[in-house]
Structure 1
Amino acid sequence: MVAIIPLNTIEFGRLSITGLKYLLSYTYENEVTFATPEYEVFRCSVILAAKQVSNYAYNIFTERLPPLKQIRNSVQVKNEFIINKQIAKKLKPLIKFIDFRRINAQIISDIIEPLNIIPIEIIQSAYRNIAISSDSNLSNTRGKSINESDYVWDMSACGSNLVIKDDGKIVLAGKRHYRHKHKHRSVRGKMLLENKGIFEWDVIIEENCDSAWVGVCSSENFNYDRSAGKQSTGWVLSSDGHCRNYRVLIKNYCTNFGDGTIVTVHLDMNRRTCAFTVNGKRYRKVLEWNNLPSKLYPVVSIRHPGRCRIQPHLSTNDAF
Structure 2
Amino acid sequence: MQHCKLHELFIFGISITKLISTGNSLIFRLHKQQMQSNFVDAQEKSIFLFSDIKIKGNDGEELSAHRSILVARSGLFNILLSGKNVTTQDLIFPEFSSNTLLVILEYLYTGKVTEKSLIIETVAEAYHCADFFLIEQLKLQIIEFFKNRDVDNKVNVSAKILSQILEYMESSDNELTNLLYDSVSSVPLETIEYCNLNGKALEYILSKIKKEETNMLSTLEYNLFHYIILWAANEISEETLSFYRSCLPSSEIVNNLNTTYLQKWNFNIPFNIQEIHSRYKPTMITKTSSLLDYVNLDRIHPLVISNIIEPLSGLISPNKLSDIRKKYALLAGKYIYISREVPSLQWSTCGYNMCLYRSPFIVTSNSLSQGWIRTAVPVSGQGLIEWDIVVEKMCCQFWVGICTIKGFNVDYNSWLGNHAYGWVFGSNGVICHNSSNSTNKYGQKFKEKDIITVHLDMEERTCSFSVNRISYPVAFRDLPDEIYPAVSLCAPGKAKIEPHVKYQNY
- TM-score, structure 1 length as denominator? 0.48
Higher helix share: 2
- Bigger Rg, which one: 2
TM-score, reference length from structure 2: 0.31
